[in-house]
A and B are shown apart, each in its own frame.
Chain A
Amino acid sequence: MAESPVVGTQLNLLDHFPEWLKKDERPGFEGYIVPAEHLLEFAHALRDRFGYDLLSSVTGVDYLPEGKMEVVYHALQTTGGPVLNFKVQVDRQNPVVPSVVSIWPGADFQEREAWDLLGIRFEGHPDLRRILMWEGFAGHPLRKDWKEPYFEEEAKPYKSRWPEGHVQRAEDRHPLHDNVDYPAGFDPDSWSPETADDVLYKTYQSIMEGSDSELHTDRMIVNLGPQHPSTHGVFRMVVVLDGETVVDVKPVFGYLHRNHEKIGERCTWLQIMPFTDRLDYISSMSNNFGYALAVERLMGIKPPERAEYIRVMMAELTRIVSHLISIGFLLNDLGAYFTPSLYALEERELILDIFEAVSGSRMMCNYFRFGGVARDLPEGVLDKVKELVFERLPRKIDEFDRYLTRNEIVRVRTEGVGVLTAEQAIALSATGPILRASGVPYDIRRADPYSIYDRFDFDVVVRYHGDVYDRYLVRLEEIRQSIRILQQVVRDIPEGPVQTGKPQWQVRVPAGESYGRVEGPKGELGYYIVSNGKPNPWRYHVRAPSFVNLTSLAQMARGGKVADIVVILGSIDIVLGEVDR
């Protein structure tokens, strides 16, 4: 279990940098505090001397009362082991931190996010634009002193709901009757509407000029999305083309930015649980899992045995659902039209029936609680799971295999397309099937086991070409491994309670920080939470796998054809609810 201190067991970094490295000694906190001027030196050493080659998460925390802004990094070794947590503290008035993009290119989007939402400037970042909100938006919303237009109180529950809860729509409270706010004295006519896209297109100026092909071709910018059938939701790619060849791609996010983190910081600990369902809305159970782990770690509780088994069962069923959808829609993007996705959705429906029977909802399960799960399995569900994992699913996965794997068109379209080498995948912080398809056998269930994954017998699926075809094969094989785990779960599941202690609607979470991570279907799903002992979190951050995995999109697509972009995007398997949060 990751309960032991994150670092210090094998390696004491203090010995290597005695002059300026400090341990984070706040109660409940762990890791190191690095002075901003030594960050790059420290990062270099971590990567090259100590083997922390993958930077998992970068985020910021606004410590308003202390007047400080903190940037929190989580790095890991792809050979396994717990994450290393280090922080940089800067003045809140002028938060400037050196960018680590030159060392870990995977920090790119996450640093942009911290700039967008918290206003932390990363010096040396090649393209520091806003990422989730649009260029020109007033303010940095995750700062603690920034208030949304419908602001009511700092934290829920709001006093207006009870005992004098006279119903009122939020828009009726606001002078403009809408969820908007503008700076004082702002005149809408003075606004020039092109700003946001201009800033983006300007970044392409240098590559737009010359074409080096023999034929004289013009370079042009093509926008795919946000309404496009292949983008799996509201996602936009701005592609520079030279003829049909992709010169560069820049994804544009934020079309589904639902302010998950700001809302989360207003919510109580339990209230966040149903919101996590809506992150990666295809795999809500594993979202629940990561969040429950993060909070449980801070509370110092563990669920009872039966609950652990139920959790693993639900997480693995979710992985099957997610991978099935991913495979189905990858084929859809390849032009197989709807048949493979319909077959995938058929199996999904049967698994959703189980989720519905257990949790009450097909997609938004909201099933995990701190120290257990919401309720025991209803009668007959276990038999249904048994039927699926022993009979139907293995047969159907074999059928998928027969149906697609050796299809010549699939192979021609996917082999050698969107290649990502192992070095590139690690540098770009890719996780999950993408990383494993590039030849890095990194699976958190093995590398840093959580819950009871250390008891099960399963293989970490790995492939070595790093192309779209390998990602497909990895997913297909992972479904088989999930079925294998599930077979062991239904064999071993004990009787007993499913919840530690009494169910509580208000939990006490001691002050401190916690990073809970699980191997979600898309990759490493991490929750970074900071508590100050109050009923709601001080900071709640989600390290979304598909958001970070998109960092490698440009690398995979460059030099390929425009038609392949759609396939590459399909192979990354993004869910916009999680990308934009």
Chain B
Amino acid sequence: MANEDLQIPGYEIPPEMQGQVAVTTLDRIYNWGRKNSLWPMMFGLACCAIEMIATAASRFDFARFGMEVMRPSPRQADVMIVSGTVTKKMVPQIVRLYNQMPEPKYVVAMGACASGGGPFKEGYNVVSGIDKFIPVDVYIPGCPPTPQALINGLMMLQKKVERESLRTARWYSREPAPAIPVPVLGPDLMDPRRYDEIRAYTLSKRNQQTTEEQTEA
């Protein structure tokens, strides 16, 4: 099976050598190796984490995909499965963990909450999707996604890995990837990249209040 995956159609192999030799590209064999050993980070946020554990457990068992080594340390992980509601209080830590992961690194947003806020989106302490801060590769809808849905999402991630090329991959470029600035907990969550916008907003809010007061007076 692996042979079929790796074999590049179009290269003629002499009949006497078929079954003994396979021709492939560096990209393919490299990606094939990578996609079958994606190590997720052992990192659970909420309800979805329990389904993630169930996926790792014997009924569904994602060890079959080379993912059994769940690492609690971001330094040893390839995939971050954001499994659950991302709260404002937690998001600085998540961004820090993401920054600590070595490249190449992938993010799977598991469930409605991690994708776009989920049922708790309207809450005052909930971030509307982890992709507001870190880039997400695969989104899995569902609340919570069943283990099979999670495996389906992880297989989509494998397909994505398969299609990448060494030449264009960002993590082989000369410049190191810039770390994502860690959000700050102020009167509300503050993204350091957006301080100017925040300042403009609070200023306009104050102006609005003063005009309201003036009209009242």
A–B contact with Cβ pairs below 8 Å: the answer is: yes
Q: A281 in the interface, Cβ–Cβ < 8 Å?
A: yes
Alpha-carbon distance between A388 and B85 when the two chains are bound, in angstroms? 34
Contact status B146-A362, CB under 8 Å: yes
Q: List chain B residues, Cβ under 8 A from A184.
A: 202, 205-206, 208-209
Specify which of A138, A183, A260 lies most central, judged by the most chain B CB atoms within 10 Å of its CB. Answer: A183
Given that A148-B124, A234-B45 are known contacts, is A179 also in contact with B202, CB under 8 Å in the complex? no
Alpha-carbon distance between A180 and B188 when the two chains are bound, in angstroms? 6
Contact status A148-B122, CB under 8 Å: yes
Across the interface, name the chain A residue whose C-beta is closest to B147.
A362
User: In the assembled complex, how far is the CB of residue A139 from the closest CB belonging to chain B, in whole angstroms?
Assistant: 8
The 8 Å CB contact of A137, one of B93, B121, B143, B188, is B188
Contact status B124-A183, CB under 8 Å: no
Q: Give the segment of A187-195, A453-461, A533-541 that binds chain B.
A: A187-195
Alpha-carbon distance between A456 and B132 when the two chains are bound, in angstroms? 52
Q: List chain B residues, Cβ under 8 A from A180.
A: 188-190, 198
Q: List chain B residues, Cβ under 8 A from A148.
A: 122-124
Across the interface, name the chain B residue whose C-beta is closest to A151.
B122
Contact status B187-A182, CB under 8 Å: yes
Q: SS class of chain A's interface: helix, strand, loop or mixed? A: loop
Contact status A187-B202, CB under 8 Å: yes
- For chain B, residues 125 to 161, give those with C-beta under 8 angstroms from any C-beta of chain A: 125-128, 132, 143-144, 146
Alpha-carbon distance between A185 and B208 when the two chains are bound, in angstroms? 11
Alpha-carbon distance between A577 and B46 when the two chains are bound, in angstroms? 6
Q: How large is the interface on B (under 10, 10 to 19, 20 to 34, 35 or more residues)?
A: 35 or more
Q: A375 in the interface, Cβ–Cβ < 8 Å?
A: no
- For chain B, residues 85 to 100, give those with C-beta under 8 angstroms from any C-beta of chain A: 85, 87-90, 93, 97
Using a Cβ cutoff of 8 Å, how many contacts connect chains A and B?
Answer: 183
User: In the assembled complex, how far is the CB of residue A132 from the closest CB belonging to chain B, in whole angstroms?
Assistant: 8
User: In the assembled complex, how far is the CB of residue A341 from the closest CB belonging to chain B, in whole angstroms?
Assistant: 8
Alpha-carbon distance between A282 and B54 when the two chains are bound, in angstroms? 12
Alpha-carbon distance between A227 and B87 when the two chains are bound, in angstroms? 14
Chain B residues within CB distance 8 Å of chain A: 42-47, 49-51, 53-54, 57-59, 72, 84-85, 87-90, 93, 97, 116-117, 119-128, 132, 143-144, 146, 184-191, 194-195, 197-199, 201-203, 205-206, 208-209
**Apart from A176-B194, A227-B97, A259-B124: 18 A-B pairs, beta carbons within 8 A:** A137-B187, A138-B187, A148-B122, A169-B128, A179-B88, A179-B126, A186-B187, A186-B202, A187-B202, A255-B90, A256-B90, A258-B123, A278-B46, A281-B46, A341-B53, A349-B54, A352-B54, A576-B46
Q: List 22 A-B contacts (CB under 8 A).
A: A136-B185, A136-B187, A141-B124, A176-B194, A176-B197, A179-B117, A182-B202, A184-B208, A185-B202, A186-B198, A188-B198, A188-B199, A234-B46, A254-B89, A259-B124, A259-B126, A262-B123, A263-B120, A263-B123, A345-B59, A363-B144, A576-B46
